[in-house]
Amino acid sequence: MDTLKGHMLLDWLRTPEADPPKVAGLWGEVAHRVKRVQILKDRQIEQEQARLAQFLSAIDASPNGVMMLDEGEQITWISSNAALHFGLDPKRDLMQRVTNLVRQPAFVRYLAAGEYGEAVKCAKAGGNGGHLLIQVQRYGDGNQKVVISQDITERERADTMRRDFVANVSHEIRTPLTVLSGFIETMGALPLTEVERKRVIELMSQQAERMQTLVADLLILAQIEGSPMPPPDRWVRADRLMQRIESDARGLSRERHPMQFTLDEQGQHGEIAGVESEWLSAMGNLVSNAIRYTPEGGHIHVRWVNLPDGGGEFSVKDGGIGIAQEHIPRLTERFYRVDGSRSRETGGTGLGLSIVKHVVQRHGGELRISSEPGKGSTFTLTVPAARVRLSA
Ligand code: ADP
């Protein structure tokens, strides 16, 4: 009898997925105990698997890419970001030799050299100019490797922008400085008549003024970039902004341009949320551009309207020289000018429209530009409904 039970138990142990045999006595006890050990083990394995899955999903969430290689440099695991960085498929490419799939010479050489003290820079998959910084670490018994990749495309772009910006600023300052020091030398070296002396001083003060304007614009940009987002509940009256802008504009134009300033019935009660000095700077820049790029006699029309959707629109329309279509998308880049000498002659810094764009974006609005060479331009700032209201 016992032999039969023993056999039943043995049969079950050979296919343990099945239920244990229902036998009484000692063999029954053994079957019960074995089943319990089995359940405990299964539970432990499940827990371990869940922990591993959690661990891997934490690594997967890292902005860096992580790829694990076995001793034969075959991919044993790859995070989603690493797959993106190297252009791999996290499932299909498992157990493939990494250098069969990632063929970038810099990476292949680095991996083969076995010297992983420093990271190596490689092109990012996709071929649109992006770069990765790749670092390999050995782990386990020293033959397995983990490849960590970091996307440095944005950092490089920011570095280039910063370098270009510093180069541009230096150039903009160097030119008037060279002129100024030339005049200083002239004044020291040559006996000048009173008329000549006056003329030289006038030219010197023009150059000094140019530098001052540039530094002032740079400071505005730095201040805007470094300050918190404009408050959504500090209200500025549209009519007050218009008054300030009108008086500055008339001073600048000195009656050379017929000007019209319009605030419709609703606009009289319009209010805009945000930072008053920033709005003044943005709107003022558009008006001063209209004046500077419109020959004497050309019309300028400045308007604020409250829109039916609850938002608002500030626009400056001029009858000036206009802008060719191909320049329009680049106008808000720092120091971008269609005609450098005209911009400088009229006291331009090349920073005005980048200030305008920054201010508008910070307030959730938009800058629209339409223009036709020889006919004139319209610059429009739209302000979203959340930042416009009608005063009581
Ligand atoms: P700037 O100080 O040179 O005027 P901005 O950033 O204000 O710099 O403008 C960039 C360029 O856009 C100007 O150099 C000029 O070529 C062009 N521009 C801006 N506003 C106008 C306008 N109203 N009419 C024609 N061209 C304009």
pLDDT (0 to 100) of residue 16: 65
287 and 376 in a single domain? The answer is: yes
CATH code of residue 86: 3.30.450.20
pLDDT (0 to 100) of residue 1: 61
270 and 355 in a single domain? The answer is: yes
100 and 7 in a single domain? The answer is: no
101 and 197 in a single domain? The answer is: no
Query: Which residues pair with residue 379 across a beta bridge?
Result: 316, 369
CA of 288 to the centre of ligand 1 (A): 9
232 and 213 in a single domain? The answer is: no
Q: How many Å apart are CA 111 and CA 121, to the nearest integer?
A: 12
* Domain count of the fold of the chain: 4
Residue 77 near residue 93, CB atoms below 8 Å: no
CB atoms within 10 A of CB 12: 18
pLDDT (0 to 100) of residue 362: 95
User: Among 129, 151, 173, where does a domain finish?
Assistant: 151
Determine whether the shortest distance from the Cβ of 323 to ligand 1 is under 6 A. Answer: yes
pLDDT (0 to 100) of residue 267: 82
CATH code of residue 219: 1.10.287.130
Determine whether the shortest distance from the Cβ of 284 to ligand 1 is under 6 A. Answer: no
Determine whether the shortest distance from the Cβ of 245 to ligand 1 is under 6 A. Answer: no
Q: How many Å apart are CA 33 and CA 12, to the nearest integer?
A: 13
Per-residue pLDDT of the chain (392 residues; tens, 9 = 90+): 678 878 888 888 887 677 778 877 888 888 888 888 989 999 999 999 999 999 999 999 999 999 999 999 999 999 999 999 999 998 999 999 999 999 999 999 999 999 999 999 999 998 788 999 999 999 988 899 999 999 999 999 999 999 999 999 999 999 899 999 999 998 888 888 999 999 999 999 999 999 999 999 999 999 998 889 999 999 999 999 999 999 999 999 999 999 999 998 888 889 999 999 999 999 999 999 999 999 999 999 999 999 999 999 999 999 999 999 999 999 999 999 999 888 888 889 999 999 999 999 999 999 999 999 999 999 999 999 999 999 87
140 and 178 in a single domain? The answer is: no
239 and 358 in a single domain? The answer is: yes
pTM: predicted TM-score of the whole model, two decimal places: 0.77
Determine whether the shortest distance from the Cβ of 311 to ligand 1 is under 6 A. Answer: no
Determine whether the shortest distance from the Cβ of 278 to ligand 1 is under 6 A. Answer: no
pLDDT (0 to 100) of residue 26: 82
User: Among 204, 224, 244, where does a domain finish?
Assistant: 224
pLDDT (0 to 100) of residue 266: 81
CATH code of residue 345: 3.30.565.10
User: Among 224, 244, 269, where does a domain finish?
Assistant: 224
pLDDT (0 to 100) of residue 20: 78
250 and 375 in a single domain? The answer is: yes
251 and 324 in a single domain? The answer is: yes
CA proximity to 328, closest of 382, 379, 375, 282: 379
Q: Which amino acid is at 170?
A: S
Strand extents, DSSP E, the chain: 65-69, 75-78, 120-123, 131-139, 144-151, 235-237, 259-263, 270-273, 300-306, 312-318, 366-372, 376-383, 388-390
CA of 289 to the centre of ligand 1 (A): 6
Task: Provide the domain limits for residue 24.
Answer: 2-59
317 and 384 in a single domain? The answer is: yes
86 and 161 in a single domain? The answer is: no
290 and 328 in a single domain? The answer is: yes
pLDDT (0 to 100) of residue 142: 86
Q: How many Å apart are CA 213 and CA 207, to the nearest integer?
A: 10
